[in-house]
Amino acid sequence: MPDYLSVSSLTKYLKLKFDRDPYLERVYLTGQVSNFRKRPSHQYFSLKDEKAVIQATVWAGVYRSLGFELEEGMKVNVIGRIQLYEPSGSYSIIIEKAEPDGIGALAIQFEQLKKKLGDEGLFQEKFKQPLPQFPQKIGVVTSQSGAVIRDIITTVSRRFPDREVVLYPTKVQGDGAAMEIAQNIRRANEREDLDVLIIGRGGGSIEDLWAFNEEEVVRAIFESRIPIISSVGHETDTTLADFVADRRAATPTAAAELATPVTKLDVLSHLKQQENRMSKAVGNRLVYHRERLEKLVHSVIFRQPERLYDAYLQKLDHLQLRMKQSISEYRNESKRRAQVLEQRLLACSPLQKIALYQEKLGQQQRLLQQQMSMIYKQKEAEVKRLADSLLMLDTSRIVARGYAIVAQNGHVVDSVHKVQREENATIQLRDGQVEVEVKDVKTKEI
């Protein structure tokens, strides 16, 4: 049948058309994600609109580079090529690039990572560390050539000139910036003398600030034992580093002010005030005790010191009287208790108990003898009854009364059905036995 094609031939022809069509080699498509379920490697789902559906595939390497997670119902713009799958005859789009429709991929990635880390509890207030009031050394993770480090050094020098600022030169933008920021945070935590750490950079676009939204940077800040102040971008810029840091500062200058909450002049002024208050308090206390000493010197006690112990002598006499009364009462009570115990001891005399137990023993012995005599007579009567019953079963007594016992092969014959003709049998009589041969067997009619 030359006019008919096989299914595979037609499918192969259509696949060649798909592969060679320049309009299907690079397709820009918009649609809504449907039937999406995240898989360990490659992703398979559908793109649809109000009137049609197309199958979609994203290879694992492409999916990892998207920068955001696909979600069911998300509207996306994709670029890819159309291919036909021969075994099933279905066509699909192989996606090479994708981005959310109407919003940037970085914004989607920001929200997804923010939700993920927030669900883990990294942004909770209970994990925030307090900032030290008087830090000795302040670490800074930022670019060596930026204005951030200059602003911080200027502010710290103005507020507390003798405080040391330790810089960790760091790449804060572009490839490898996130890894370098995280590494320097960990390096700073290896030191024992740093009291607070400032991380930050100047303003910029979301792409410029993106290193401070990377997961490894957020986790490094969360794991830091040193309190961290985040100063990334301008006041309106917000990064995930701001959420996880112990404090956020709108500018590098504000970060330096947070790191040195009080200035040296404030400390000196406070110490001076405390010194004045302490001096005044000590002076007032001295005046108070001097006046009190003056009153005591002129008091009647110093003129008549015997009054100091008059009351104690009266109290001593009173206590002695109470002690004698208590001893007398205790002695009387002890005598009474001894008499009671003596009476109870006499009531529990062992001689009375011995006599009582001897009487009980005699009663038990008499009762035992009576019971033994009764049991003995009962057993003797039972033995006699059993002996009589045994004698009744004695075959010699049966034969003595004129009966005979027929046996065959050592067994007593109790029925004619057990005897066969011309067989030998033994008849036991009173004075001997007879050996016979059976000539005939007659059965009694019942």
- Spatial contact of 405 and 395, defined as CB atoms under 8 Å apart: yes
**If you write DSSP's letter for every residue of 337-366 in order, what string do you get?**
HHHHHHHHHHHT-HHHHHHHHHHHHHHHHH
- Taking the alpha carbons at both ends of the chain, their separation in whole angstroms is 104
Condensed to tens digits (0 to 9), the pLDDT of residues 342-389 reads 888 777 777 777 888 888 998 999 999 999 999 999 999 999 988 888
Residue 225 dihedral angles phi and psi, to the nearest 5°: -85, -20
CB atoms < 10 A from the CB of 263, how many? 14
To which residue do tokens 């999406």 refer? 36
Q: What is the pLDDT along the chain (446 residues), one digit of tens a residue?
A: 567 888 888 888 888 888 888 888 889 998 888 889 989 989 999 999 888 999 999 999 999 888 778 888 888 889 999 988 888 888 899 999 888 876 566 777 788 888 888 999 998 999 999 998 888 899 999 998 888 888 888 888 888 888 889 999 999 888 899 999 999 999 999 999 899 999 988 877 777 888 898 899 999 999 999 999 998 877 777 889 899 999 998 888 888 888 887 666 666 666 777 777 888 888 888 888 888 888 877 776 666 666 666 777 778 888 888 999 999 999 999 999 998 888 887 777 777 778 888 889 989 999 999 999 999 999 999 999 888 888 777 777 777 777 788 888 777 887 877 787 778 888 888 788 888 888 888 887 65
Condensed to tens digits (0 to 9), the pLDDT of residues 98-152 reads 888 765 667 777 888 888 889 999 989 999 999 988 888 999 999 988 888 888 8
Distance CA 235, CA 227 (A): 21
- Spatial contact of 178 and 218, defined as CB atoms under 8 Å apart: no
Distance CA 136, CA 367 (A): 104
